[in-house]
Chains A and B, each alone.
Chain A
């Protein structure tokens, strides 16, 4: 059972890493526009100069 001595802190460390990630995402404004973020994920990211190429008919 001595394995707990480092397994439990390891688990907590991973959890804390997750929390740090969440706080970072909050700080960088990722929760400011939830509706927009949903759409951005599926938008094509063409460079602004190039005309967006659209394939008609393809899903």
Chain B
């Protein structure tokens, strides 16, 4: 599994298409779909329980794309705060299990693992 992380509109999907040869049709928002690329992981995770449930499914994907939501001010809203923490912790776990981790900034990939 390859983890691709980056800010909003940083070029994550374009990178995955051009680098790994996937098309829009290979990309899904549904964690349980059999499409090889999962997009918008951050929209699926609200608690650590979500992470536990989804983790094995995520490892079956070829590519997991997640928007980096960690670099704003700590949210005042408790649910938002917990979501942000849960997404962060899950990404650490995924990064540790991933064969490669790519961070995208301004469309430029930086391979930070693998």
Bound together: no
Please list the residues of chain B having a beta carbon within 8 angstroms of any beta carbon in chain A.
none
